Amino acid sequence: MATLPHQQEKLGLDTFLRGLWEENPVFVMLLGMCPVLAVTNSTMNAIAMGLATTFVLVASSALISLLRNLIPKQVRIASYIVIIATFVTVVDYAIQAISLDLYNALGAFIQLIVANCVILGRAEAYASKQRLHTTLVNSLGMGAGFTVALLALGTVREVLGNGTLLGFQVMPANFEPWVVMILPPGGFFVLGSWLLLFAYIRQRRERRLLEQEGLSDAR
Amino acid sequence: MSESPLMQAVPSTPGFRMIRTLGAIAMLSGLLVVLVFRWTEPIIAENQRIAIEKAVFQVVPGATQRVDVVLGADGMALATDAAGDGETVYAAFDEQGKLKGVALAAGAQGYQDVVKLLYGYDPACSCIRGIKILKMTETPGLGDKIAFDPGFLRNFEALSAVVNASGDGLTNPIKAVKHGHKQFAWEVDAISGATISSVAVANALNRSMQRMAPLIQRHRDALGEVAP
Protein backbone atom coordinates (compact mmCIF):
# COMPACT_ATOMS: atom_id res chain seq x y z
CA MET A 1 0.00 0.00 0.00
CA ALA A 2 1.73 3.12 -1.18
CA THR A 3 0.33 6.61 -1.05
CA LEU A 4 -3.40 6.83 -0.66
CA PRO A 5 -5.21 7.83 -3.80
CA HIS A 6 -7.79 9.74 -1.84
CA GLN A 7 -7.67 13.38 -0.98
CA GLN A 8 -7.29 13.94 2.75
CA GLU A 9 -10.06 16.19 3.90
CA LYS A 10 -9.16 19.37 5.77
CA LEU A 11 -10.73 19.62 9.17
CA GLY A 12 -13.34 22.35 9.33
CA LEU A 13 -16.69 23.21 10.76
CA ASP A 14 -18.28 21.66 7.71
CA THR A 15 -16.78 18.28 8.63
CA PHE A 16 -19.07 18.22 11.62
CA LEU A 17 -22.09 20.07 10.26
CA ARG A 18 -22.38 17.90 7.16
CA GLY A 19 -23.80 15.04 9.24
CA LEU A 20 -26.39 17.31 10.79
CA TRP A 21 -27.79 18.87 7.65
CA GLU A 22 -26.32 18.35 4.19
CA GLU A 23 -25.72 14.61 4.57
CA ASN A 24 -28.06 13.86 7.46
CA PRO A 25 -28.07 10.05 7.63
CA VAL A 26 -31.83 9.82 8.15
CA PHE A 27 -33.42 12.77 6.40
CA VAL A 28 -31.08 13.03 3.43
CA MET A 29 -29.34 9.68 2.96
CA LEU A 30 -32.29 7.60 4.26
CA LEU A 31 -29.97 5.12 5.99
CA GLY A 32 -30.63 3.06 9.09
CA MET A 33 -34.41 3.22 8.71
CA CYS A 34 -35.05 0.12 10.82
CA PRO A 35 -34.16 1.59 14.24
CA VAL A 36 -35.47 4.98 13.13
CA LEU A 37 -38.96 3.57 12.71
CA ALA A 38 -38.86 0.95 15.43
CA VAL A 39 -37.59 2.60 18.59
CA THR A 40 -38.81 6.16 18.21
CA ASN A 41 -42.12 5.59 19.97
CA SER A 42 -40.85 7.57 22.95
CA THR A 43 -38.36 10.37 23.42
CA MET A 44 -36.30 8.45 25.96
CA ASN A 45 -35.89 5.48 23.63
CA ALA A 46 -34.91 7.83 20.81
CA ILE A 47 -32.24 9.53 22.93
CA ALA A 48 -30.83 6.22 24.17
CA MET A 49 -30.77 4.70 20.70
CA GLY A 50 -29.20 7.84 19.24
CA LEU A 51 -26.45 7.97 21.86
CA ALA A 52 -25.75 4.24 21.58
CA THR A 53 -25.47 4.47 17.81
CA THR A 54 -23.29 7.58 18.07
CA PHE A 55 -20.92 5.84 20.44
CA VAL A 56 -20.59 2.80 18.18
CA LEU A 57 -20.19 5.05 15.15
CA VAL A 58 -17.46 7.22 16.68
CA ALA A 59 -15.55 4.38 18.35
CA SER A 60 -15.59 2.04 15.36
CA SER A 61 -14.78 4.83 12.88
CA ALA A 62 -11.84 5.90 15.03
CA LEU A 63 -10.43 2.38 15.22
CA ILE A 64 -10.97 1.78 11.53
CA SER A 65 -9.28 5.06 10.71
CA LEU A 66 -6.30 4.07 12.86
CA LEU A 67 -6.06 0.65 11.20
CA ARG A 68 -6.84 1.87 7.71
CA ASN A 69 -3.38 1.15 6.35
CA LEU A 70 -3.13 -2.27 7.97
CA ILE A 71 -6.40 -3.80 6.77
CA PRO A 72 -6.07 -5.49 3.37
CA LYS A 73 -8.73 -4.42 0.90
CA GLN A 74 -10.09 -7.95 0.43
CA VAL A 75 -11.04 -8.46 4.07
CA ARG A 76 -12.00 -4.90 4.94
CA ILE A 77 -15.75 -5.47 5.24
CA ALA A 78 -15.23 -8.46 7.53
CA SER A 79 -12.81 -6.43 9.65
CA TYR A 80 -15.23 -3.50 9.86
CA ILE A 81 -18.08 -5.76 10.93
CA VAL A 82 -15.99 -7.40 13.65
CA ILE A 83 -14.93 -3.99 14.95
CA ILE A 84 -18.49 -2.64 14.85
CA ALA A 85 -19.86 -5.78 16.52
CA THR A 86 -17.32 -5.38 19.32
CA PHE A 87 -18.46 -1.89 20.16
CA VAL A 88 -22.11 -2.91 19.88
CA THR A 89 -21.48 -5.64 22.46
CA VAL A 90 -19.79 -3.07 24.69
CA VAL A 91 -22.83 -0.78 24.41
CA ASP A 92 -25.15 -3.72 25.01
CA TYR A 93 -23.50 -4.52 28.34
CA ALA A 94 -23.21 -0.85 29.27
CA ILE A 95 -26.94 -0.23 28.80
CA GLN A 96 -27.76 -3.33 30.83
CA ALA A 97 -25.56 -1.95 33.58
CA ILE A 98 -27.13 1.52 33.39
CA SER A 99 -30.79 0.55 33.34
CA LEU A 100 -32.58 -2.75 32.79
CA ASP A 101 -35.85 -0.93 32.01
CA LEU A 102 -34.20 0.96 29.20
CA TYR A 103 -32.58 -2.25 27.98
CA ASN A 104 -35.96 -4.00 27.85
CA ALA A 105 -37.53 -1.03 26.07
CA LEU A 106 -34.91 -1.02 23.33
CA GLY A 107 -35.16 -4.79 22.92
CA ALA A 108 -33.27 -6.34 20.04
CA PHE A 109 -32.45 -3.01 18.43
CA ILE A 110 -29.25 -2.52 20.40
CA GLN A 111 -27.78 -5.69 18.91
CA LEU A 112 -29.10 -4.66 15.51
CA ILE A 113 -26.86 -1.57 15.53
CA VAL A 114 -24.33 -3.97 14.00
CA ALA A 115 -26.36 -3.99 10.82
CA ASN A 116 -26.99 -0.24 10.82
CA CYS A 117 -25.81 0.89 7.42
CA VAL A 118 -25.00 4.39 8.67
CA ILE A 119 -22.05 2.91 10.55
CA LEU A 120 -20.78 0.56 7.87
CA GLY A 121 -21.34 3.33 5.34
CA ARG A 122 -19.18 5.73 7.34
CA ALA A 123 -16.49 3.09 7.75
CA GLU A 124 -16.33 2.35 4.03
CA ALA A 125 -16.86 5.84 2.67
CA TYR A 126 -14.98 7.94 5.18
CA ALA A 127 -13.08 6.34 8.06
CA SER A 128 -11.12 3.96 5.84
CA LYS A 129 -9.71 6.90 3.86
CA GLN A 130 -9.38 9.82 6.25
CA ARG A 131 -7.11 10.64 9.14
CA LEU A 132 -8.14 10.07 12.73
CA HIS A 133 -9.11 13.58 13.77
CA THR A 134 -11.27 14.37 10.75
CA THR A 135 -12.88 10.94 11.10
CA LEU A 136 -13.68 11.61 14.75
CA VAL A 137 -15.30 14.94 13.99
CA ASN A 138 -17.17 13.66 10.97
CA SER A 139 -18.57 10.59 12.69
CA LEU A 140 -19.51 12.68 15.70
CA GLY A 141 -21.47 14.94 13.36
CA MET A 142 -23.13 11.96 11.70
CA GLY A 143 -24.03 10.53 15.10
CA ALA A 144 -25.45 13.87 16.18
CA GLY A 145 -27.45 14.04 12.96
CA PHE A 146 -28.80 10.56 13.56
CA THR A 147 -29.69 11.37 17.17
CA VAL A 148 -31.41 14.62 16.17
CA ALA A 149 -33.42 12.74 13.55
CA LEU A 150 -34.48 10.08 16.06
CA LEU A 151 -35.43 12.83 18.49
CA ALA A 152 -37.46 14.61 15.82
CA LEU A 153 -39.49 11.45 15.34
CA GLY A 154 -39.55 10.40 18.98
CA THR A 155 -40.86 13.67 20.41
CA VAL A 156 -43.63 14.03 17.84
CA ARG A 157 -44.71 10.43 18.27
CA GLU A 158 -44.68 10.55 22.06
CA VAL A 159 -46.53 13.87 22.29
CA LEU A 160 -49.23 12.87 19.82
CA GLY A 161 -49.43 9.20 20.69
CA ASN A 162 -49.22 9.40 24.45
CA GLY A 163 -49.74 13.05 25.37
CA THR A 164 -46.41 13.06 27.23
CA LEU A 165 -42.86 14.23 26.68
CA LEU A 166 -40.10 12.28 28.44
CA GLY A 167 -42.87 10.84 30.62
CA PHE A 168 -44.32 14.21 31.69
CA GLN A 169 -47.84 15.14 30.67
CA VAL A 170 -47.69 17.98 28.14
CA MET A 171 -51.06 17.72 26.47
CA PRO A 172 -54.27 18.86 28.22
CA ALA A 173 -55.96 16.16 30.26
CA ASN A 174 -58.90 15.83 27.85
CA PHE A 175 -56.55 15.12 24.93
CA GLU A 176 -57.27 11.70 23.48
CA PRO A 177 -53.88 10.19 22.46
CA TRP A 178 -53.53 9.12 18.83
CA VAL A 179 -52.53 5.56 19.56
CA VAL A 180 -51.58 4.98 15.92
CA MET A 181 -48.60 7.32 16.41
CA ILE A 182 -46.94 4.87 18.82
CA LEU A 183 -47.71 1.91 16.57
CA PRO A 184 -45.51 1.16 13.54
CA PRO A 185 -47.71 3.09 11.04
CA GLY A 186 -47.19 6.24 13.10
CA GLY A 187 -43.45 5.92 12.51
CA PHE A 188 -44.02 6.00 8.77
CA PHE A 189 -46.42 8.94 9.01
CA VAL A 190 -44.05 11.05 11.07
CA LEU A 191 -40.98 10.09 9.03
CA GLY A 192 -42.87 10.94 5.84
CA SER A 193 -43.87 14.32 7.22
CA TRP A 194 -40.32 15.16 8.23
CA LEU A 195 -38.97 14.08 4.84
CA LEU A 196 -41.58 16.27 3.16
CA LEU A 197 -40.52 19.23 5.26
CA PHE A 198 -36.82 18.64 4.58
CA ALA A 199 -37.35 18.22 0.85
CA TYR A 200 -39.48 21.37 0.74
CA ILE A 201 -36.86 23.47 2.53
CA ARG A 202 -34.05 22.17 0.34
CA GLN A 203 -35.99 22.76 -2.82
CA ARG A 204 -36.92 26.28 -1.83
CA ARG A 205 -33.33 27.05 -1.01
CA GLU A 206 -32.12 25.73 -4.34
CA ARG A 207 -34.73 27.78 -6.18
CA ARG A 208 -33.62 30.90 -4.33
CA LEU A 209 -30.01 30.21 -5.27
CA LEU A 210 -30.99 29.76 -8.90
CA GLU A 211 -32.97 32.98 -8.89
CA GLN A 212 -30.06 34.88 -7.40
CA GLU A 213 -27.73 33.47 -10.01
CA GLY A 214 -30.18 34.42 -12.70
CA LEU A 215 -30.30 37.96 -11.40
CA SER A 216 -26.53 38.31 -11.24
CA ASP A 217 -26.23 36.90 -14.76
CA ALA A 218 -28.70 39.43 -16.06
CA ARG A 219 -26.71 42.29 -14.63
CA MET B 1 2.51 6.58 3.38
CA SER B 2 5.23 4.05 4.28
CA GLU B 3 4.52 0.56 5.56
CA SER B 4 5.04 -0.29 9.18
CA PRO B 5 8.39 -1.96 9.99
CA LEU B 6 6.60 -5.14 11.06
CA MET B 7 5.16 -5.65 7.62
CA GLN B 8 8.44 -5.11 5.84
CA ALA B 9 10.10 -7.66 8.08
CA VAL B 10 7.61 -10.36 7.19
CA PRO B 11 7.20 -10.64 3.43
CA SER B 12 4.21 -12.91 3.12
CA THR B 13 1.45 -13.99 0.81
CA PRO B 14 -1.64 -11.83 0.71
CA GLY B 15 -3.62 -14.77 2.07
CA PHE B 16 -1.44 -14.91 5.12
CA ARG B 17 -1.75 -11.19 5.62
CA MET B 18 -5.51 -11.36 5.46
CA ILE B 19 -5.67 -14.11 8.04
CA ARG B 20 -3.23 -12.29 10.25
CA THR B 21 -5.20 -9.04 10.10
CA LEU B 22 -8.52 -10.73 10.77
CA GLY B 23 -6.99 -12.75 13.59
CA ALA B 24 -5.47 -9.70 15.21
CA ILE B 25 -8.72 -7.74 14.96
CA ALA B 26 -10.72 -10.66 16.32
CA MET B 27 -8.31 -11.00 19.25
CA LEU B 28 -8.48 -7.30 19.96
CA SER B 29 -12.26 -7.33 19.91
CA GLY B 30 -12.38 -10.44 22.08
CA LEU B 31 -10.18 -8.73 24.64
CA LEU B 32 -12.38 -5.64 24.65
CA VAL B 33 -15.59 -7.63 25.04
CA VAL B 34 -14.16 -9.71 27.89
CA LEU B 35 -12.95 -6.58 29.69
CA VAL B 36 -16.32 -4.88 29.45
CA PHE B 37 -18.13 -8.08 30.40
CA ARG B 38 -16.03 -8.56 33.53
CA TRP B 39 -16.52 -4.93 34.45
CA THR B 40 -20.31 -4.80 33.98
CA GLU B 41 -21.17 -8.31 35.20
CA PRO B 42 -21.54 -7.47 38.92
CA ILE B 43 -23.43 -4.25 38.11
CA ILE B 44 -25.88 -6.11 35.87
CA ALA B 45 -26.39 -8.84 38.47
CA GLU B 46 -27.05 -6.19 41.09
CA ASN B 47 -29.52 -4.42 38.78
CA GLN B 48 -31.37 -7.67 38.22
CA ARG B 49 -31.49 -8.38 41.93
CA ILE B 50 -32.91 -4.91 42.64
CA ALA B 51 -35.45 -5.30 39.85
CA ILE B 52 -36.67 -8.64 41.26
CA GLU B 53 -36.72 -7.28 44.79
CA LYS B 54 -38.73 -4.24 43.78
CA ALA B 55 -41.21 -6.41 41.88
CA VAL B 56 -41.57 -8.86 44.80
CA PHE B 57 -42.30 -6.09 47.30
CA GLN B 58 -44.74 -4.58 44.85
CA VAL B 59 -46.84 -7.72 44.42
CA VAL B 60 -46.80 -8.67 48.11
CA PRO B 61 -48.11 -5.59 49.95
CA GLY B 62 -46.38 -4.91 53.24
CA ALA B 63 -43.32 -7.06 52.54
CA THR B 64 -39.82 -5.75 53.23
CA GLN B 65 -37.67 -8.89 53.18
CA ARG B 66 -37.46 -11.88 50.92
CA VAL B 67 -36.07 -15.42 50.93
CA ASP B 68 -35.70 -17.45 47.76
CA VAL B 69 -37.17 -20.93 48.14
CA VAL B 70 -37.41 -23.89 45.78
CA LEU B 71 -40.79 -25.59 45.91
CA GLY B 72 -41.23 -28.95 44.22
CA ALA B 73 -43.27 -32.12 44.40
CA ASP B 74 -40.70 -33.62 46.78
CA GLY B 75 -40.74 -30.76 49.24
CA MET B 76 -39.19 -27.42 49.96
CA ALA B 77 -35.62 -26.18 50.13
CA LEU B 78 -33.79 -22.90 50.34
CA ALA B 79 -32.67 -21.73 46.93
CA THR B 80 -29.13 -21.39 48.27
CA ASP B 81 -29.05 -25.13 49.06
CA ALA B 82 -30.30 -25.91 45.55
CA ALA B 83 -31.40 -29.43 46.42
CA GLY B 84 -34.03 -31.25 44.42
CA ASP B 85 -35.88 -29.74 41.51
CA GLY B 86 -38.86 -27.47 41.59
CA GLU B 87 -39.82 -23.90 41.00
CA THR B 88 -38.05 -20.95 42.61
CA VAL B 89 -40.47 -18.76 44.52
CA TYR B 90 -39.86 -15.70 46.65
CA ALA B 91 -41.19 -15.89 50.19
CA ALA B 92 -41.83 -12.33 51.36
CA PHE B 93 -41.86 -11.22 54.99
CA ASP B 94 -42.62 -8.01 56.84
CA GLU B 95 -40.21 -6.45 59.29
CA GLN B 96 -41.32 -8.70 62.17
CA GLY B 97 -40.50 -11.77 60.07
CA LYS B 98 -44.13 -12.68 59.49
CA LEU B 99 -44.94 -14.37 56.17
CA LYS B 100 -46.87 -11.84 54.09
CA GLY B 101 -47.07 -13.87 50.92
CA VAL B 102 -45.20 -15.69 48.21
CA ALA B 103 -44.18 -14.12 44.91
CA LEU B 104 -44.13 -16.39 41.88
CA ALA B 105 -43.24 -15.98 38.22
CA ALA B 106 -45.74 -16.99 35.55
CA GLY B 107 -46.15 -16.62 31.82
CA ALA B 108 -48.59 -17.28 29.00
CA GLN B 109 -48.91 -16.57 25.31
CA GLY B 110 -50.25 -13.08 24.69
CA TYR B 111 -51.20 -11.31 21.49
CA GLN B 112 -47.71 -11.07 20.02
CA ASP B 113 -45.38 -12.89 22.35
CA VAL B 114 -45.26 -14.47 25.78
CA VAL B 115 -46.41 -12.23 28.63
CA LYS B 116 -44.18 -12.77 31.66
CA LEU B 117 -45.31 -11.58 35.04
CA LEU B 118 -44.66 -11.84 38.75
CA TYR B 119 -47.58 -12.18 41.17
CA GLY B 120 -48.01 -12.34 44.90
CA TYR B 121 -50.00 -15.12 46.55
CA ASP B 122 -51.16 -14.74 50.13
CA PRO B 123 -51.68 -18.21 51.69
CA ALA B 124 -53.60 -16.71 54.63
CA CYS B 125 -56.49 -15.48 52.46
CA SER B 126 -55.87 -17.96 49.61
CA CYS B 127 -55.81 -15.11 47.18
CA ILE B 128 -53.60 -13.24 44.78
CA ARG B 129 -52.56 -9.83 46.11
CA GLY B 130 -50.92 -8.17 43.15
CA ILE B 131 -49.30 -8.67 39.77
CA LYS B 132 -46.49 -6.99 37.90
CA ILE B 133 -45.83 -7.49 34.20
CA LEU B 134 -42.13 -8.19 33.77
CA LYS B 135 -41.92 -8.60 30.02
CA MET B 136 -44.39 -8.23 27.19
CA THR B 137 -44.68 -7.04 23.64
CA GLU B 138 -48.41 -6.35 23.62
CA THR B 139 -49.81 -3.63 21.37
CA PRO B 140 -49.03 -0.18 22.80
CA GLY B 141 -52.19 1.67 23.73
CA LEU B 142 -54.30 -1.49 23.75
CA GLY B 143 -52.80 -4.70 25.09
CA ASP B 144 -50.10 -3.02 27.12
CA LYS B 145 -52.80 -1.64 29.43
CA ILE B 146 -52.54 -4.94 31.35
CA ALA B 147 -49.42 -3.47 32.95
CA PHE B 148 -50.92 -0.25 34.33
CA ASP B 149 -54.69 0.05 33.79
CA PRO B 150 -55.97 0.80 37.33
CA GLY B 151 -59.34 -0.88 36.73
CA PHE B 152 -57.66 -4.04 35.51
CA LEU B 153 -55.10 -4.14 38.31
CA ARG B 154 -57.93 -3.86 40.84
CA ASN B 155 -58.79 -7.46 39.82
CA PHE B 156 -55.68 -8.61 41.60
CA GLU B 157 -56.15 -6.97 44.96
CA ALA B 158 -57.88 -10.11 46.23
CA LEU B 159 -58.27 -12.62 43.42
CA SER B 160 -59.49 -15.86 44.94
CA ALA B 161 -57.36 -18.99 44.43
CA VAL B 162 -58.71 -21.57 46.90
CA VAL B 163 -57.21 -25.06 46.88
CA ASN B 164 -59.78 -27.82 46.31
CA ALA B 165 -60.59 -30.61 48.77
CA SER B 166 -58.33 -33.21 47.15
CA GLY B 167 -55.42 -30.74 47.28
CA ASP B 168 -54.28 -31.06 43.67
CA GLY B 169 -55.64 -27.88 42.14
CA LEU B 170 -57.98 -24.94 42.54
CA THR B 171 -61.66 -25.20 43.46
CA ASN B 172 -62.48 -22.58 40.87
CA PRO B 173 -60.03 -22.01 38.04
CA ILE B 174 -59.01 -18.40 37.51
CA LYS B 175 -60.41 -17.15 34.24
CA ALA B 176 -60.95 -13.93 32.36
CA VAL B 177 -64.49 -12.77 31.59
CA LYS B 178 -65.72 -10.09 29.23
CA HIS B 179 -65.38 -6.53 30.48
CA GLY B 180 -68.06 -5.74 33.06
CA HIS B 181 -69.15 -9.36 33.51
CA LYS B 182 -67.12 -10.22 36.62
CA GLN B 183 -69.35 -12.04 39.12
CA PHE B 184 -67.08 -14.17 41.28
CA ALA B 185 -63.91 -13.52 43.23
CA TRP B 186 -61.90 -15.87 40.95
CA GLU B 187 -62.82 -14.09 37.74
CA VAL B 188 -60.69 -11.47 35.99
CA ASP B 189 -62.55 -8.56 34.45
CA ALA B 190 -60.91 -8.20 31.02
CA ILE B 191 -60.00 -4.81 29.53
CA SER B 192 -62.29 -4.06 26.61
CA GLY B 193 -60.15 -3.91 23.48
CA ALA B 194 -57.42 -5.96 25.12
CA THR B 195 -59.21 -9.25 25.68
CA ILE B 196 -56.41 -11.46 24.39
CA SER B 197 -53.83 -9.83 26.64
CA SER B 198 -56.20 -10.00 29.64
CA VAL B 199 -56.87 -13.68 28.96
CA ALA B 200 -53.11 -14.26 28.79
CA VAL B 201 -52.71 -12.83 32.29
CA ALA B 202 -55.56 -14.96 33.64
CA ASN B 203 -54.18 -18.08 31.93
CA ALA B 204 -50.71 -17.47 33.31
CA LEU B 205 -52.09 -17.06 36.84
CA ASN B 206 -54.38 -20.08 36.53
CA ARG B 207 -51.73 -22.43 35.19
CA SER B 208 -49.22 -21.38 37.82
CA MET B 209 -51.71 -21.43 40.70
CA GLN B 210 -53.21 -24.83 39.78
CA ARG B 211 -49.75 -26.29 40.33
CA MET B 212 -48.27 -24.06 43.01
CA ALA B 213 -51.15 -23.07 45.33
CA PRO B 214 -51.52 -26.64 46.73
CA LEU B 215 -47.75 -26.84 47.25
CA ILE B 216 -47.63 -23.48 49.02
CA GLN B 217 -50.53 -24.39 51.28
CA ARG B 218 -48.94 -27.74 52.13
CA HIS B 219 -45.66 -26.08 53.06
CA ARG B 220 -47.21 -22.99 54.58
CA ASP B 221 -45.79 -23.54 58.06
CA ALA B 222 -42.36 -24.42 56.76
CA LEU B 223 -42.39 -21.27 54.61
CA GLY B 224 -43.16 -19.16 57.66
CA GLU B 225 -40.09 -20.57 59.41
CA VAL B 226 -37.50 -19.59 56.81
CA ALA B 227 -37.85 -15.91 57.74
CA PRO B 228 -34.53 -14.07 57.57
Quick count: other Cβ atoms within 10 Å of Cβ A67?
19
A30 min Cα distance to partner chain B (Å): 26
Q: What is the pLDDT of residues A93-104, one digit of tens each?
A: 999 898 888 887
Tell me which residues of chain B have a C-beta less than 8 Å from any C-beta of chain A. Answer: 1, 3-4, 7, 14, 17-18, 21-22, 25-26, 28-29, 32-33, 36-37, 40, 43-44, 47-48, 51, 135, 137, 139-142
User: In terms of Cα–Cα distance, which of B112, B150, B110 is closest to B131?
Assistant: B150
Element (H, E) at B26: helix B14-59
Check residue A39 and report its DSSP letter.
Answer: S
User: According to the model, what pLDDT value does residue B37 have?
Assistant: 93
Q: How close B135 comes to chain A (CA, Å)?
A: 8
Q: Do B48 and A71 touch (CB under 8 A)?
A: no
Cα distance from A179 to chain B (closest Cα, Å)?
Answer: 6
The pLDDT value recorded for residue A1 is 38
Residue A85 and residue B21: Cβ atoms within 8 Å? Answer: no
Mean pLDDT across chain B: 84
**Which pTM value belongs to this model?**
0.73
Chain segment A103-140, per-residue pLDDT in tens: 877 877 888 888 888 888 888 888 888 888 888 988 99
Cross-chain Cβ contact A104/B135 below 8 Å: yes
User: In the predicted model, what is the mean pLDDT of residues B190-198?
Assistant: 89
Tell whether ipTM is more than 0.85: no
Cβ–Cβ under 8 Å, residues A80 and A65 = no
Provide mean pLDDT across the span B147-165.
88
pLDDT value of residue A3: 41
Question: What's residue B147's pLDDT?
Answer: 86
Q: Measure Cα distances from B122 to B131, B210, B225 in Å.
A: 12, 15, 16
Nearest to A89 among B33, B44, B141 (CB): B33
Digit-coded pLDDT (tens) for A28-78: 888 888 888 888 888 888 898 899 999 999 999 999 999 888 888 888 888
* pLDDT for A213: 82
Q: How far apart (Å, rounded) are the C-alpha atoms in residues A49 and A149?
A: 11
CB contact (8 A) between residue A4 and residue B1: yes
Give, in order, the Cα–Cα distances in Å from A17 to each of A22, A199, A205, B60, B117: 8, 18, 17, 54, 46
Of B58, B50, B90, nearest to B156 by C-alpha is: B58
Residue B33: pLDDT band with limits 50, 70, 90: very high
Name every chain A residue with its beta carbon within 8 A of the beta carbon of B14. 72, 74
The answer to whether residue A164 neighbours chain B at the CB level (below 8 Å) is no
- State yes or no: pLDDT of B6 exceeds 80: no
Using the 8-state DSSP alphabet, how is residue A7 labeled? P
Tell me how far apart the alpha carbons of residues B108 and B172 are, in angstroms, rounded to a whole number.
19
- 8 Å CB contact between B51 and A105: no
- Cβ of A97 and B40 within 8 Å? yes
Pair A56, A142: CB distance under 8 Å: no
pLDDT digits (tens, 9 = 90+) for B110-133: 888 889 899 999 988 889 999 998
Residue B13 confidence (pLDDT): 59
Average pLDDT in the A18-34 region? 82
Nearest to A103 by CA among B4, B40, B162, B176: B40
Q: How many residues make up chain A in this entry? A: 219
| Chain A environment of B142 (Cβ under 8 Å) | 179
User: What does the pLDDT look like over B37-94, one tens digit per residue?
Assistant: 999 999 998 988 888 888 888 888 888 888 888 887 777 777 766 656 778 888 888 8
Q: Check if A179 contacts B (Cβ < 8 Å).
A: yes
How many CA atoms lie less than 13 Å away from B51 in the CB half-sphere?
Answer: 21
Inspect the interface and report whether the beta carbons of A78 and B1 lie closer than 8 Å: no
pLDDT at position A190 is 92
In A, minimum Cα distance to B8 occurs at A1
Q: Is the pLDDT of residue B2 over 60?
A: no
Q: What is the pLDDT of residue A217?
A: 66
Query: Could you tell me if A161 and A175 are in contact, meaning their C-beta atoms sit under 8 angstroms apart?
Result: no
A176: nearest CA partner in chain B: B141
Taking the Cβ of residue A1 and every Cβ of chain B, the question of whether any pair is shorter than 8 Å is answered with: yes
> Who has greater pLDDT, A21 or B149?
B149
Q: Which residue of A has its CA nearest to B46?
A: A97
pLDDT for B1: 45
CB contact under 8 A, A97 and B141: no
